[in-house]
Amino acid sequence: MDAIVNDKRERILAAASDLIVKNGLQCSMAEIAQTAGVATGTLYIYFSSKEEMVRGVYQRLTAKVGASLIVEHGPDVSHEARVRRYIDDYIGLIWADPARAILFEYLSNVPLLPPGELRRLFAPVTDFTAKVFTEARAAGVLRDFDPNVMGAYVGGGIRNTLKWRRANGSPLTEAEHRQIAEMCWSAIAGNTQEQALPGVADRQS
Amino acid sequence: MDAIVNDKRERILAAASDLIVKNGLQCSMAEIAQTAGVATGTLYIYFSSKEEMVRGVYQRLTAKVGASLIVEHGPDVSHEARVRRYIDDYIGLIWADPARAILFEYLSNVPLLPPGELRRLFAPVTDFTAKVFTEARAAGVLRDFDPNVMGAYVGGGIRNTLKWRRANGSPLTEAEHRQIAEMCWSAIAGNTQEQALPGVADRQS
DNA sequence: CAAGAGTGAATGAACATTCATTCACCTGTC
DNA sequence: GACAGGTGAATGAATGTTCATTCACTCTTG
């Protein structure tokens, strides 16, 4: 019962996601229903309108992003390691599923969803990012810039780099992954030269 | 005669740009025509279809971007200065006109314009970026990464940072501008340590 | 210079199509 | 048989595109 309800809702959102990636928001409700294997009218049982269904698609997306980025850190994990972990997870997340990345980029720039609403739906992720960056900054690990600015810079850089890279068709090598992470870290790392920590992996020439 | 023709085409593209920013690609041809002060049928004199008109809008955009970023450098301008100038121009360009930035971001992610076509239309700008970065890298000023990767990273970082920043409503201070430029430079600057400048404030934890 | 003929950009009402939304009717379950 | 979830054809509004018509302007001719 409840499982079926959720299953249908999930299938509708998955179908809508696919078609939005392919054709944008002009994809028809009939096509979405057909892809999901339900009748047109069923869409309106789960969502009051197309616009609200799109909101559901975006929300589903933020949930997955949050699941990939938000992690609990034990007290033994250094701030630098937390930030580096965040960067790695972000790169992995964006590269792992091209369709998801395209959908995210598209919906984030569509006039239908105003910026204020996007920020509200995305709050769990941005809050986590702000927390990690703020604490790292307080520990002197990051620059003395606004943590939100640093978060936005790193995220935008990663997404745009991988978007360009995706067009190439070839897989992302481990070396490239490391290069991008290095750019991210250099952009926001604090000026305090404590990188000469004993035991911590140091950057090769 | 010719001036009038260009004037009308220009007015149509300007109207379309405005309405796309406001309502996305669903804006109607009738509305665009009305905003431009012409009849509906006139649109089809200058463009064979709505899709081609959108292409025209994007092309008009790339022309403006190119005009802001592409500069001739004399032989006395150092490679570092060229890259820093590029970063500054990019920040200025994106911040100067919010509507233009939104339009650019939206059209760059719309399924109607496939990535291959976007790259083709944007080639003059990316070619210039690649040239500046490639030469700077050859001079040892930049990291030994793919110049296109570095260009994409910096551009994406700037655009996303300013997009987030724009939502705040407050103007961009000179200090913020410098901070963003610093993140860009640090991300791509070569490892050759000529930045060990004396007098730089460093805070030790 | 005057007048007639020609040109093609501009127009906007009409057309065909597409599409979000609705609702009368199923179908399985208790 | 009552009820809830599900269905898909019907509907009416919206929209991209067309095209017969207008008209300001230019060219030709007497």
Residues with Cβ within 8 Å of A75's Cβ and at least 6 positions away in sequence, in order, are none
Helix (H, G, I), strand (E, B) or coil at B142: strand
* Residue A88 placed within a domain: yes
Is the distance from CB of B29 to CB of B5 less than 8 angstroms?
A: no
Q: How high is the pLDDT of residue A205?
A: 40
A78 and A167 fall within a common domain: yes
Q: How much is the pTM?
A: 0.90
B59 and B87 fall within a common domain: yes
* Residue A98 placed within a domain: yes
- Estimate in Å the CA A33 to C1' C20 gap, whole number: 13
The reply to whether residue A111 touches residue B189, judged by beta carbons under 8 angstroms, is no
Question: What is the CB-side half-sphere exposure of residue A32 using CA atoms within 13 A?
Answer: 31
Residue A170 has pLDDT above 70, yes or no: yes
A89 and A129 fall within a common domain: yes
What are the structure tokens assigned to B161, written together? 């940072």
pLDDT tens for each residue of B144-184: 999 999 999 999 999 999 999 998 889 999 999 999 999 99
- Among all strands, which nt has the closest C1' to A31 (CA)? C19
B138 and B158 fall within a common domain: yes
A107 and A139 fall within a common domain: yes
* Phi, psi for residue B84 in degrees, rounded to 5: -65, -35
What would the mean pLDDT of B195-205 be, rounded to a whole number?
41
Candidates B22, B157, B167; nearest CB to A153: B157
A3 and A101 fall within a common domain: no
Q: How high is the pLDDT of residue B199?
A: 39
CATH code of the domain containing B34: 1.10.10.60
* Residue B7 placed within a domain: yes
B74 and B175 fall within a common domain: yes
- Residue B6's pLDDT band, with cuts at 50, 70 and 90, is low
Structural domain including B41 reads 1-48
Residue B1 has pLDDT above 90, yes or no: no
- Residue A78's pLDDT band, with cuts at 50, 70 and 90, is very high
* Residue B197 placed within a domain: no
The mean predicted confidence, pLDDT, of chain A is: 91
The reply to whether residue B149 touches residue A164, judged by beta carbons under 8 angstroms, is yes
Q: How high is the pLDDT of residue A192?
A: 61
- Estimate in Å the CA A89 to C1' C20 gap, whole number: 39
The reply to whether residue B152 touches residue A161, judged by beta carbons under 8 angstroms, is yes
CATH code of the domain containing B98: 1.10.357.10
Of B10, B27, B48, the last residue of a domain is B48
A41 and A70 fall within a common domain: no
B64 and B21 fall within a common domain: no
* Residue A201 placed within a domain: no
CA distance B104 to chain A (A): 10
pLDDT tens for each residue of A94-145: 999 999 999 999 999 999 999 999 999 999 999 999 999 999 999 999 999 9
Bases of chain D with protein Cβ within 7 A = 5-10, 14-20
Tell me the sheet residues that pair with B142: B189
Task: Tell me the percentage of chain B whose pLDDT exceeds 70.
Answer: 90
* Residue A197 placed within a domain: no
What would the mean pLDDT of B176-200 be, rounded to a whole number?
77
The reply to whether residue A158 touches residue B163, judged by beta carbons under 8 angstroms, is no
| B29 CB neighbours strand D below 7 A | yes
B119 and B63 fall within a common domain: yes
- Estimate in Å the CA A113 to C1' C18 gap, whole number: 24
Number of domains forming the structure of chain B: 2
Residues of A in contact with B145 (CB under 8 A): 179, 183
The reply to whether residue A156 touches residue B161, judged by beta carbons under 8 angstroms, is yes
A42 and A63 fall within a common domain: no
B87 and B120 fall within a common domain: yes
pLDDT tens for each residue of B96-136: 999 999 999 999 999 999 999 999 999 999 999 999 999 99
Of A11, A32, A48, the last residue of a domain is A48
Comparing A181 with B6, the larger pLDDT belongs to A181
